[in-house]
Structure 1
Amino acid sequence: MNTLFLVGSGPGDPGLLTIKAYETIKFAQVILFDNLVDERIIELAPDNCIKRFVGKIPYAKQVTQDEIHALISFYCNRYRRVVRLKGGDPYMFGRGFEEWLYAKRRSIDVQYIPGISAMQGAGLNSIPLTHRGVSNGVWALTATKEDGAFACDLSLAAQSTSTVVIYMGMQKLAQIARVYVMLGKADRPAAIVQQVSCKDQNQVLCCVADLVMASENSGLSNPAIIIIGEVVDLQNTLRAANETTRIVI
């Protein structure tokens, strides 16, 4: 039976692929991949594998979702092992389930293989998503709705003490900051993390009110995630504790 494999490639580093994802890519006949997939992961596929870029590059011409669906149908009618390879996890703001539904409605067999999401990779920057006594939960949100408008759910998340992780928010930094300022939480710790786990990974720390200025001063842009909450400040707390210890000694 011809099968569509919805595979998460993780945040970037090929070493963070799951074993199942690795094995699926190694035997792929066709790979439809996004722009967030590291080229070293694409190179794991066989030499005779058809590799098609179907990514959505920020601020540039994009392959539409309808075009991607058409390619899924075209290749799944001709090849037994078609891999739809996405950065992070296919079901975490990756439209993976839209493609699952499309394939299922056309009687195409589908297998989902999860991947490590960018927000989980934040731990590589010494930012845990939760920490006992600091954050008891996580909100994972997108700042941009399908029509490009600002996603207003953030106003609910900002009222909690949980960690807030925002995808697709780099064009909405001013609106994000405004939500927190209006709630009297302008000094809530925040981080912008770009290219999580990749060799050019970078981050900037600031308070949420200064997100726009921090982004401009650091030059950080898409692809990046925004993390807001007291967990961001834990690394500074550790540094301060270490410095105090050295002084006492």
Structure 2
Amino acid sequence: MHGVAAFGSAHLRGHTVIVCGRAGAARRAVARYRSAGADVLTAVVPSELALLGPSLRRASLVVGVDDGDPGWDVLPAVAREQRTLLLTEEPAAEHGHVTLVGGGPGEADLLTVAGRRALAAADVVYYDRLGPGRVVADLAPGAELIDVGKTPGHHKVPQETIQAMMVESALAGHAVVRLKGGDPFVFGRGGEEVAACLAAEVPVTTIPGISSSVAVPGTVGIPVTHRGVSKMFTVASGHVPFSDDELEHLAGLGGTLVILMGVGTLAQTIAGLRRHGMDPATPAAVVERGYSAEQRSTVARLDKLALAAAEAKCASPAVIVIGDVVAVGNDWKHLTAEFGGAARSLEDVHA
């Protein structure tokens, strides 16, 4: 168990905490308790306990880090004698490594249990603009937090620099977490970061995350697949305009088309899809800022979507969904009347 969480980090200011364990093994515990406001004293070897004297008697908490030294077996007796709460913690990693963590679509409670564990054990966290960045300080108490997030058209830290920083931190012996929105391997450049670690012989693991390509449409009742409607979905990046060949293939795939980072190229995408034969009455939607208090969706038939998105001033981050599944989660008859023209009813979609 992590002692800060167990003891209550909001109440540690003004308290003395004694962390027992070899310096390297205890570094995460020391950082966490100091970040929570505690006055942290350390005993690196069991014989140093006697040197703490009065400090041990006034300590609110003793933390034993399991560094393999059998001398720490005295801690339960010491804690009972001093009437002090004793907590035990796992040691910090002995060797540097990198963990890529998928943060999901934004809400902290959508982060996986494995992702939370990796953050709690991190020495350094490199985090993005998307994902649970707002609460990363709570998820990784005591870790060094480095914002390397990108915004459309602005990469304040180039990707190559991010990779070099991660490798350098790991080679210095730190437990490094690269926290990304969604899933690391869905337009997250996770493959490049893994390759950089492997090239530097840095151990690297990946913890998957919930991709916004599936989760965000689901928040407004749009399933990317639906029995009798769509048996496949394609996820594409609209950050760079599609080529004419790509648009031809996308128009002919069928099923559901999900486009990430595509608001800026939406008009061109729609024009290309229609040019290559996609039905102008195809249901479509733009879902902005998924899983936030500002989430909003704009729904129209394909040939009206660019205008509807422009009038609504749709902006990134957003997920674009094109396909008959959009009608599954919306009152399509009402929407087609509002945006003009006849379109397939939900009954027609299921036919």
Whether these two folds match at TM > 0.5 is: yes
Cα drift, residue 219 of structure 1: 2.0
Q: Is the 8 A contact 1:168 1:224 kept in 2?
A: yes
Which residues of 2 match residues 117-156 of structure 1 at below 5 A?
A: 117-121=211-215, 122-144=217-239, 148-151=240-243, 152-156=245-249
In the alignment, the residues of structure 1 paired with residue 213 and residue 187 of structure 2 have an alpha-carbon distance, to the nearest angstrom, of: 12
Change (3 A) 1:178 1:238: closer
Q: Is the 8 A contact 1:25 1:44 kept in 2?
A: no
Change (3 A) 1:218 1:149: closer
Q: Return the letter of the residue paired with 1:139.
A: T
Cα drift, residue 184 of structure 1: 4.5
In the alignment, the residues of structure 2 paired with residue 235 and residue 124 of structure 1 have an alpha-carbon distance, to the nearest angstrom, of: 10
| Equivalent in the alignment of 1:201 | 295
Q: Is the 8 A contact 1:168 1:225 kept in 2?
A: yes
Q: Which has the higher helix share?
A: 2
In the alignment, the residues of structure 2 paired with residue 46 and residue 12 of structure 1 have an alpha-carbon distance, to the nearest angstrom, of: 16
Whether 1:32 and 2:126 are equivalent positions in the alignment is yes
In the alignment, the residues of structure 2 paired with residue 93 and residue 235 of structure 1 have an alpha-carbon distance, to the nearest angstrom, of: 26
In the alignment, the residues of structure 2 paired with residue 69 and residue 39 of structure 1 have an alpha-carbon distance, to the nearest angstrom, of: 19
**1:67-96 per-position Cα deviation (integer Å, ceiling 9, x unaligned):** 111211221112431000100001000100
**1:35-81 per-position Cα deviation (integer Å, ceiling 9, x unaligned):** 11233431333432100011111133532111111211221112431
Change (3 A) 1:61 1:184: closer
Which aligned segments of 4 or more residues in structure 1 are displaced greater than 6 angstroms? none
Whether 1:23 and 2:117 are equivalent positions in the alignment is yes
In the alignment, the residues of structure 2 paired with residue 41 and residue 158 of structure 1 have an alpha-carbon distance, to the nearest angstrom, of: 40
Cα drift, residue 171 of structure 1: 1.2
Secondary structure of the residue aligned to 1:171 is coil
In the alignment, the residues of structure 2 paired with residue 38 and residue 67 of structure 1 have an alpha-carbon distance, to the nearest angstrom, of: 22
Change (3 A) 1:41 1:172: same
In the alignment, the residues of structure 1 paired with residue 135 and residue 184 of structure 2 have an alpha-carbon distance, to the nearest angstrom, of: 16
In the alignment, the residues of structure 1 paired with residue 247 and residue 102 of structure 2 have an alpha-carbon distance, to the nearest angstrom, of: 26
**1:119-156 per-position Cα deviation (integer Å, ceiling 9, x unaligned):** 12121110001000100101111123xxx443552421
RMSD: 1.8
In the alignment, the residues of structure 1 paired with residue 327 and residue 121 of structure 2 have an alpha-carbon distance, to the nearest angstrom, of: 43
Whether 1:177 and 2:294 are equivalent positions in the alignment is no
Q: Is the 8 A contact 1:189 1:208 kept in 2?
A: yes
| Equivalent in the alignment of 1:243 | none
Partner residue of 1:211 out of 281, 305, 314? 305
Change (3 A) 1:4 1:224: same
Which residues of 2 match residues 1-249 of structure 1 at below 5 A?
A: 1-121=95-215, 122-144=217-239, 148-151=240-243, 152-182=245-275, 183-236=277-330
Q: Report the more deviating stretch, 231-240 or 117-126.
A: 231-240
Secondary structure of the residue aligned to 2:252 is coil
Where does structure 1 lack aligned partners over 5 or more consecutive residues?
Answer: 241-249
Change (3 A) 1:91 1:197: same
Cα drift, residue 225 of structure 1: 1.3
What TM-score, normalized to structure 2? Answer: 0.64
Q: Return the letter of the residue paired with 1:97.
A: G
In the alignment, the residues of structure 2 paired with residue 239 and residue 22 of structure 1 have an alpha-carbon distance, to the nearest angstrom, of: 44
Cα drift, residue 29 of structure 1: 0.8
Change (3 A) 1:115 1:101: same
Q: Return the letter of the residue paired with 1:150.
A: F
- How many residue pairs match? The answer is 237
Once the two structures are aligned, what percentage of the paired residues are identical?
A: 33
What TM-score, normalized to structure 1? Answer: 0.89
Q: Return the letter of the residue paired with 1:123.
A: G
Q: Return the letter of the residue paired with 1:107.
A: E
Q: Is the 8 A contact 2:263 2:316 kept in 1?
A: yes
Q: Report the more deviating stretch, 217-226 or 131-140.
A: 217-226
Cα drift, residue 157 of structure 1: 2.2
User: Which protein shows a greater Rg?
Assistant: 2
In the alignment, the residues of structure 2 paired with residue 224 and residue 58 of structure 1 have an alpha-carbon distance, to the nearest angstrom, of: 12
In the alignment, the residues of structure 2 paired with residue 235 and residue 149 of structure 1 have an alpha-carbon distance, to the nearest angstrom, of: 28
